[in-house]
């Protein structure tokens, strides 16, 4: 049994990742911590508390950083909605007294000390809380079984600026601090997560099937996913959406579905056009250093498991499954002639 901490900026795909993680028989969620990213941490925490309620999770929830330590917070309401779930929570007037405000980083440290190698930290947002946890007790954080970070773009374009992925772009100093302090991180980057998407028609049919089983969860997923897909249609000309964070959960709990490479990763913090860029040295003979990068995965096995667990309707190696695979737009301009 793998014990996991989820640090999240929930977020539409984060919310699906939490649902997925809660239904994985091989994982126990020991703690959920929240961080500003997709939306401010106050909204993120409300989303997580609502998920905790409807999924009947035992895990304690601690809220964390309101903003990066050394730069202004950037959020993405256009992608996730102002409340982070496509406006669903606000439209229903759902809110909780935010108890245990603060303390996310200390809670991560406590979990690291308690579970050591048995613990995997799954980081689905900017690394602000993780960096703070490292500053509080580097040995404890280094002593966990693994830290898996959704983030980075190594061989292709970013989703925020030309070369940056959102989570790292929001707080590059935090990511850099973690790596520079000798903490090994496994990155699940856009290069991999954007090779799979859920088309709108498939999402619609999954929601119809799921509706019978989970009357509280499905209206939330419907509104959140529709908002998220509308964004992708407008911004990426893609009538569907990416599952960045659920894939990251899978990389933590089912690493056997993934191929990883060792690498040395540095984070650009200063460049006018490149701050937040993840730079990996893939040259022959380069030192295999502080990180691992997920480079490919068995997307259809993941898809079958995700759809079965989150929607109660498996899409596997069928034609529908095949229609979820895509070739990613890469930095090789010869493939992108217009």
Q: Sheet containing 291-297: give its strands across.
A: 61-63, 27-34, 2-8, 119-123, 146-150, 185-188, 291-297, 258-263
User: Does the annotation count 227 as an active-site position?
Assistant: no
In order of 11, 34, 75, 213, the CA distances from 39 in angstroms are 7, 11, 5, 29
Q: Is 152 in the site for ligand RIB (CB under 6 A)?
A: no
Q: Is 124 in the site for Ca ion (CB under 5 A)?
A: yes
User: Does the annotation count 80 as an active-site position?
Assistant: no
Q: Is 244 in the site for ligand RIB (CB under 6 A)?
A: yes
User: Residue 71 in 3-state DSSP?
Assistant: coil
11 vs 64, beta carbon nearer Ca ion: 11
8-67 residues in contact with ligand RIB (CB under 6 A) are 9, 11, 13-14, 37-38
* Euclidean distance between CA atoms 327 and 330, whole angstroms: 9
8 Å CB contact between 80 and 228: yes
Residue 159 binds which one of ligand RIB, Ca ion, none, with CB within 5 to 8 A depending on kind?
ligand RIB
Tell me, residue by residue from 244 to 263, as one string, x for binding to Ca ion by CB under 5 A and - for no binding: -x------------------
115 vs 223, beta carbon nearer ligand RIB: 223
CA angle, residues 68, 149, 284, in degrees to nearest 5 = 115
110 vs 227, beta carbon nearer ligand RIB: 227
* HSE-up of residue 313 (Cα within 13 Å, Cβ side): 17
Segment lying near Ca ion (by CB under 5 A), choices 55-63, 117-125, 306-314, 326-334: 117-125
66 vs 137, beta carbon nearer ligand RIB: 66
244, 245, 254, 305: which is the annotated catalytic residue? 244
9, 14, 191, 305: which is the annotated catalytic residue? 9
Q: Is 81 in the site for Ca ion (CB under 5 A)?
A: no
Binder among 14, 165, 171, 191 for Ca ion (CB under 5 A): 14
Alpha helices in 23-146 (DSSP H): 41-55, 77-80, 88-92, 104-115, 128-136, 138-142
Closest to 50 (Cα-Cα) out of 86, 88, 104: 88
- In the complex, the residues that contact ligand RIB under the rule CB under 6 A are 9, 11, 13-14, 37-38, 124-125, 150, 159, 165-167, 244-245
Positions marked active-site? 9, 244
- In the complex, the residues that contact Ca ion under the rule CB under 5 A are 9, 11, 14, 124-125, 245
């Amino acid at each position: 049994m793998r014990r996991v901490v989820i640090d999240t900026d929930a977020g539409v795909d984060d919310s699906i990742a939490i649902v997925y993680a809660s239904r994985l028989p091989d994982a126990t969620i020991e703690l959920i911590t929240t961080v500003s990213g997709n939306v401010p941490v106050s909204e993120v925490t409300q989303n997580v508390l609502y998920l905790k309620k409807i999924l009947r999770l035992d895990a304690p929830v601690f809220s964390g950083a309101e903003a990066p330590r050394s730069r202004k917070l950037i959020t993405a309401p256009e992608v996730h909605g102002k409340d982070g779930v496509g406006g669903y929570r606000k439209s229903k007037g759902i809110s909780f007294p935010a108890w245990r405000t603060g303390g996310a980083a200390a809670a991560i440290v406590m979990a690291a000390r308690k579970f050591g190698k048995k613990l995997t930290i799954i980081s689905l947002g900017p690394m602000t809380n993780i960096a703070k946890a490292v500053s509080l007790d580097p040995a404890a954080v280094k002593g966990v079984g693994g830290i898996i970070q959704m983030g980075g773009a190594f061989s292709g374009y970013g989703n925020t600026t030309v070369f940056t992925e959102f989570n790292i772009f929001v707080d590059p100093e935090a990511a850099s601090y973690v790596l520079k302090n000798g903490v090994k991180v496994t990155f699940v980057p856009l290069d991999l997560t954007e090779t799979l998407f859920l088309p709108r028609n498939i999402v619609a049919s999954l929601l119809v099937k799921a509706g019978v089983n989970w009357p509280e969860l499905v209206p939330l997923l419907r509104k959140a996913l529709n908002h998220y897909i509308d964004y992708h249609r407008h911004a990426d000309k893609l009538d569907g959406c990416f599952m960045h964070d659920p894939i990251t959960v899978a990389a933590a709990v089912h690493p056997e579905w993934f191929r990883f490479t060792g690498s040395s990763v540095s984070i650009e913090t200063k460049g006018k056009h490149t701050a937040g860029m993840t730079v990996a040295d893939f040259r022959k003979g380069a030192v295999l250093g502080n990180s691992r990068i997920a480079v490919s995965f068995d997307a259809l096995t993941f898809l079958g498991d995700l759809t079965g667990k989150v929607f109660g309707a498996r899409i596997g190696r069928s034609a529908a499954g095949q229609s979820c695979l895509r070739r990613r737009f890469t930095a090789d301009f010869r493939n992108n002639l217009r």
